[in-house]
Amino acid sequence: MPSTLTPDQDSAAISLIRGFAMDAPLYAKSGHQGTAMALAPLAHVLYSRIMSHDPTNPAWPDRDRFILSNGHASILQYSMLFLNGYGLELDDIKQFRQWQSATPGHPEVGHTAGVEVTTGPLGQGFANAVGMAIAERSLADRFGSDVQDHHTFVVAGDGCFMEGLSHEAASMAGHLKLGSLICVHDDNRITIDGNTNLAYSDDVAMRFSSYGWHVENVGEIADDCDALEAALRRAMAVTDQPSLIILRSHIGFPSPDLTDTHEAHGNPFTLELTNRTKDAMGIPQEPFWAPTELVDAYRAAAAQRGQAASAQWQQRFDASALNRAEWDACWAATGLAGWTESLPTFAQGESIATRVAIQKVFDATLAQLPGLVAGSADLTANTGTKLVGQVAQSAATPGGRQVYYGIREHAMAAVMIGMSLHGGVLPVGGTFLVFADYLRPSVRLAALSKAKVVFVLTHDSVGVGEDGPTHQPVEQLASLRIIPDLQVLRPADANETAQAWRIAVEHDGPTVLVLSRQNLPVCTDGSAAVTGAATLSAAANPQVVLVATGSEVHLCVAAAEQLASQGIGANVVSMPSWDRFERQSAHYRSSVFPQGVPVLSVEAGTTFGWARYAHDSIGIDRFGASAPGALVLDKLGINIDNIVARATALAAKA
């Protein structure tokens, strides 16, 4: 859609953005102005000439997505949200980086209207954009291009491209031929330490060309709105490759003092330097200069364009023959009505690994969960994330619900966040628990973003066996539990696994399912997954409580039987989820752990954290060993005899 702004309004808007970019960090005494100043024309062109977006309806499904991967330049995005009328007002800009403001230090999805993803850790937003492009293409294939046909625009800097995550994500995007993905590389050649030549000499054009991207080096056009628009439209015309536009920008421009210097990156300009730059731009020295007539004209133009675009989409949607129930379920990332009735149950005593059980659960519920898209980092069969009968996501089969992420754990997690935050997709990704550190930064951001994604992390203990300590997680479960707003479940058996999947689908944020490699006997009805912990068996006069998670629960059941034969009453508690248990009432929690009854925890991992619930803990506070899994578990004390002995001693002290 053509812009209705005049050339003079274009120029004034760019100056306003640059003024905000200096004033907000100056008055906050914190922030990054240089990149925002340099990219003001680009942001203006994207929002006023290129992107299909509606400030009066920020969440309409077919809008173009904008991601600022170099999120430290957040004032650039806030300036655009202010100018376009997304709800930010001048006082919000003045409260940049302040307590409970709508303009935090880095963009946060769900906090500020118009922000699509949470960015800041470099490279994350770029990888999120890949996920958004996958989601758009998948939905277009399923429901038709009349209701899903938009672009994902991402701005990324040198720092984003130095991070290894960008290599993983860019490689995947090129392989999948994501034609709706357009990245503008802010080639300003400056980092905090100084010029990029201190540490970086990549040929970015050759690198992305080798990934299969369409690449255009547009050179010195960072201040030329018409040339920027033309370059973006050329990229939009490429449909069979993601596009990279390499834009040579000058950080801090048009500062007469700090253009092209690393001081312009993250040190707020002084008032004197700010005023000198404003003089160079020909605008008043007043702070937060925002002429009412300019802002009103900008917002009116944005509303006119946006409302027309979203209304036209609504007409197409209303005329579409798509399945509304499936559409609604996809966008809610949940199941069709009654979907939980398809959850399988497993017979008591049946022996099945929870990683195998999850695949059976996926297969049983797949038809009722139209948004479900699953895959793994080259461990699809190993982690139970193989969807039976589904084709691979690819350029040839864009609606494929099986995603092969390759050996790219970090990108997998970040891409899943992008898919989720785009909407219309419920992404599941699997790898081994021991590799959680490869994807941890993205798991943390999933929690911070409240992105509805499910991480299936299998081979969850030293029971992995012969692969040895490099592949035997002992500390990973504890490290995941400490991440705020991350739901973590380690089910005891197949029934708890089925209920854990139901809980993950019903949850409004990210979930980690921690699953076993080895077979486990079915010993629960699954209800403990709902409450986080539940008593499986209760003694008439309990002298000790045995609490365990995952593969250790059935050992506690057997140990309780031996203790009973010795006249020691033991309650057995399955506790798949600490965080869910903590959300229960105090009355319920005290019923699981009765006051005055000592508690022994049993888990094949570090005992860190168990002091919250237990008076003594059996665990593994060392790395594992290379040997058959059952032998390693036994040698490290995860066995019935040790549980009985420690429980007996604990009960005797009570």
Angle at 328 between CA 327 and CA 329, to 5 degrees: 95
Over 60: is that where the pLDDT of 126 sits? yes
Is residue 168 part of the annotated active site? The answer reads no
CB 31 within 8 A of CB 94: no
Beta strands in 567-648 (DSSP E): 570-574, 599-602, 616-618
Residue listed under structure tokens 């996926």: 362
Phi then psi dihedrals of residue 346, to 5 deg: -125, 145
596: left (phi over 0), alpha (psi -120 to 50) or beta: left
Residues 6+ apart with CB under 8 A from 212: 174, 175, 177, 241, 242
Give the CA angle between residues 488, 504, 523 to the nearest 5°.
70
Positive or negative, the Cα torsion across 377, 127, 110, 139? negative
CB atoms within 10 A of CB 237: 10
Q: What DSSP character marks residue 604?
A: S
What value does the mean pLDDT take over residues 184-196? 96
Per residue, the 3-state secondary structure of 549-583, as one string, reads CHHHHHHHHHHHHHHHHCCCCEEEEECCCHHHHHC
**Once rounded to an integer, what is the mean pLDDT over residues 588-610?**
98
pLDDT of residue 594: 97
Q: Tens digit of pLDDT for each residue in 618-643?
A: 999 999 999 999 999 999 999 999 99
pLDDT above 70 covers a percentage of the chain that reads: 100
116, 136, 409, 603: which is the annotated catalytic residue? Answer: 409
Q: Indicate whether 300 pLDDT > 60.
A: yes
pLDDT of residue 2: 54
Please state, in angstroms and as integers, the Cα–Cα distance from residue 266 to each residue in 33, 94, 191, 252, following that order: 7, 18, 9, 10
**pLDDT tens-digit readout, 320-377:** 999 999 999 999 999 999 999 999 999 999 999 999 999 999 999 999 999 999 999 9
The whole-angstrom separation of Cα 522 and Cα 62 is 45
Separate counts of helices (H) and strands (E) for the chain: 26, 18
Q: Is the pLDDT of residue 266 over 90?
A: no
Supply the pLDDT for residue 427.
Answer: 98
Count Cβ neighbours within 10 Å for each residue of 600-631 and write b for 16 or more, e otherwise: bbbbbbbbbbbeebbbbbbbbeeebeeeebee
pLDDT surpassing 70 at residue 46: yes
List the strands of the sheet with 544-548, edge to edge. Answer: 534-537, 570-574, 544-548, 599-602, 616-618
Contacts of 634 (CB under 8 A, 6+ apart): none
Query: Is pLDDT at 277 greater than 90 in this prediction?
Result: yes
Give the DSSP letter string of 14-68: HHHHHHHHHHHHHHHT----HHHHHTHHHHHHIIIII----TTSTT-TTPPEEEE
pLDDT tens track for 204-230: 999 999 999 999 999 999 999 999 999
The pLDDT score that the predictor gives to residue 3 is 61
- Three-state SS for 461? coil
| Mean pLDDT on 640-650 | 98
- Nearest partner of 349 among 539, 493, 517, judged by Cα: 493
Q: What is the predicted pLDDT for the residue at 637? A: 98
d(CA 375, CA 131) in angstroms, rounded, equals 13
* Percent above pLDDT 90 for the chain: 99
Q: Phi and psi of 449, rounded to 5°? A: -85, -10
pTM here? 0.97
| pLDDT recorded at residue 4 | 78
pLDDT for res 109 = 98
**Peptide bond between residue 542 and the one before it cis (omega within 30 degrees of 0):** no
* pLDDT at residue number 432: 98
Question: Please, what are the domains in the chain?
Answer: 7-312 (3.40.50.970), 339-521 (3.40.50.970), 531-653 (3.40.50.920)
DSSP for residue 464: G
Rounded-to-integer distance, Cα 416 and Cα 393, Å: 13
Q: What is the mean pLDDT of the chain?
A: 97
pLDDT tier, 654 (very low <50, low <70, confident <90, very high otherwise):
confident
Average pLDDT of the segment spanning 461-483:
97
